[in-house]
Structure 1
């Protein structure tokens, strides 16, 4: 007799899993005091954390320099997050000095590199020399109206003529400027300090301001392309601004953070979705600072210099909000990529 099999009973479907929605972004607007805005970038030394060699480090810094020049950034601040200080007399460049030196290299004309940078550090630029020059730099442009009359140069020493056999006396001022030509340029009626980079009018043979030569394409402190400085602490970011009026607003851009808690940070820093510019400006420029990196690193840097800011509860009190980046999960953008993307976003708000 054949055995009877018990029919299988299908299980009732369980509750359907619903994908968790990302938290709704809290948004706000910020007001600036002028129609025109200067942007400063604050880059942490963690930029080099994912770089395995000098070639990768150079290219990461190159991308930041390219974005800064393209969007006419006036200042780049390198935030040193290393707790251990570099030993004095050590010839190896620290991470902050390497980033700052590469940034400065990319806005230096090729014919001035060997006299601007010390010979023992030129080996750090071997990969940078292989990359294209930044075409957006003001002195790279050739305008038909001025026929390329403005040129970057370095004031070089002159000696006082004296009797033969006697040691000549060096002048602290000079009228000779190296502009990368076969012959140095002799200024018509000016004396300038030696070893100083200047902008010259090659037709009138005189030193002119970068503003006269390049208009608005000048960085902080009349620098060429952008001004570079190193911040050793969180406090020096804000207290040592290259602008006399400091920063009118500061925004944080989350990047290089794969464990970002968006819901938690939104309560401290809402997203900025609009920058309100006045119809009538009370000042010529507003200076907006963009700070990049992980919030954990920003907060840690604040804790290291917390004694400078009595009564402050955290780093969030220094920021007007955070700037969201389009595409991809929040925080999963490399610092060098975040610079280009964030500048394209913020200039259109």
Structure 2
């Protein structure tokens, strides 16, 4: 009996990434005060600071960036102490102050702005407006205008698809979009159907026309996907690029937390972080000496927290959960410290810390 010929054609060959995920997984944690008025004077400086952090993270293949959203009332109290003691405060936002409470309430929080800018820098330009639209996340209502200067900065050249056997020729990031709502006859007129399209086979890959995927099942709209351009199908980011962040993120995975304990308890790694490293930064007037052993080697899933010890102590004391019930001092949460020059700003400490950590 003759064998039945397969109706499915063989998939076309695609580029294979030559680089792979490093054995040591790196997570960095930065406070939202990295863009406070002490550190950044206006939106242009804020954008530049976050861009510097994003470039460093991509260069050293950081798997995750955690943004700890420091409560503003805590920050304000600390700044007031500095002012009353006669020390220098580095200025305020140059945007005109508005006493209209409604407009002030609509201003995005620092943590959300830092996290959004970090995500922006690893998002293809053609997906930005969709990914950061208010209909996907109500918190993004006032985010898009904050990308004014970010759009003008050059693309980061160390993203996963770059310098990795030209995989960008065969793979591209996309977002599933709804096809046009079908027309139906109603009272002798053609009108759009009442039901909303929730699944689709069409994907926005930045071309004039959306790409129709050759897949059996339709995918929920506004899903971020990695597309095999030759075979018009969806693949995992790991298969396409070889290097990914946690949760299969394109580049690094961005996580924002408002409670200090969640830096540790909401890790995307099932077993948690294997070691925690402290880097003292943002402490412009302190001596920067912390009684912790010096970092010697990196392996496993490393969490590097870059902040001033004073800020961490305040966050630790204000944490209302019972997670740290048996811990008396925030320093007990760290295995070691990574020494850098005193008085470094957060964004500079990120690059210095990653350089020393990776080179060890």
| TM-score, reference length from structure 2 | 0.77
Superposed, which structure 2 residues align to 1:212-291 within 5 Å? Answer: 212-215=239-242, 217-262=243-288, 265-266=290-291, 269-275=292-298, 286-291=300-305
**Greater gyration radius:** 1
| Aligned residue-pair number | 296
Give 5+ residue unaligned stretches, structure 2: 1-21, 75-100, 134-140
Q: CA RMSD in A?
A: 2.2
Specify which of 32, 41, 49 is matched with residue 45 of structure 1.
32
Alpha-carbon distance, 1:61 to partner = 0.4
- Contact 2:107–2:142 under 8 Å retained in 1: no
Partner SS, residue 139 of structure 1:
coil
Distance 1:155 1:322 in 2: 44
Q: Label 1:158 to 1:252 Cα distance change in 2 as closer, same or farther (>3 A).
A: same
Say if 2:343 is the partner of 1:320: no
Say if 2:219 is the partner of 1:192: yes
Distance 1:199 1:239 in 2: 29
Partner SS, residue 296 of structure 2:
strand
- Contact 2:279–2:338 under 8 Å retained in 1: yes
Per the alignment, residue 57 of structure 1 pairs with 46
| TM-score, reference length from structure 1 | 0.79
Specify which of 171, 176, 181 is matched with residue 207 of structure 2.
181
Distance 1:332 1:175 in 2: 53
- Contact 2:287–2:342 under 8 Å retained in 1: no
Distance 1:83 1:334 in 2: 19
Distance 1:147 1:130 in 2: 22
Partner SS, residue 345 of structure 1:
helix
Superposed, which structure 2 residues align to 1:13-162 within 5 Å? Answer: 36-49=23-36, 50-84=39-73, 90-118=105-133, 120-141=142-163, 143-144=165-166, 146=167, 148-159=169-180, 161=182
Distance 2:168 2:148 in 1: 32
Deviations 1:289-320 (A, max 9, x none): 01011100011111111642212111111110
Alpha-carbon distance, 1:258 to partner = 2.7
Distance 1:142 1:274 in 2: 27
Give 5+ residue unaligned stretches, structure 1: 1-34, 278-285
Deviations 1:134-186 (A, max 9, x none): 01112345734x57110011100125645233542323211000000111111
Deviations 1:237-257 (A, max 9, x none): 001112222111110101121
Per the alignment, residue 280 of structure 1 pairs with none
- Contact 1:142–1:148 under 8 Å retained in 2: no
- Contact 2:63–2:253 under 8 Å retained in 1: yes
Partner SS, residue 356 of structure 2:
helix
Partner SS, residue 261 of structure 2:
helix
Per the alignment, residue 325 of structure 2 pairs with 310
Alpha-carbon distance, 1:96 to partner = 0.4
- Contact 1:256–1:331 under 8 Å retained in 2: no
Q: Bigger relative contact order, structure 1 or 2, given CA contacts below 8 A and separation 6+?
A: 1
Deviations 1:202-247 (A, max 9, x none): 10000110000001x2111111111111111210100111222211
Distance 1:306 1:39 in 2: 28
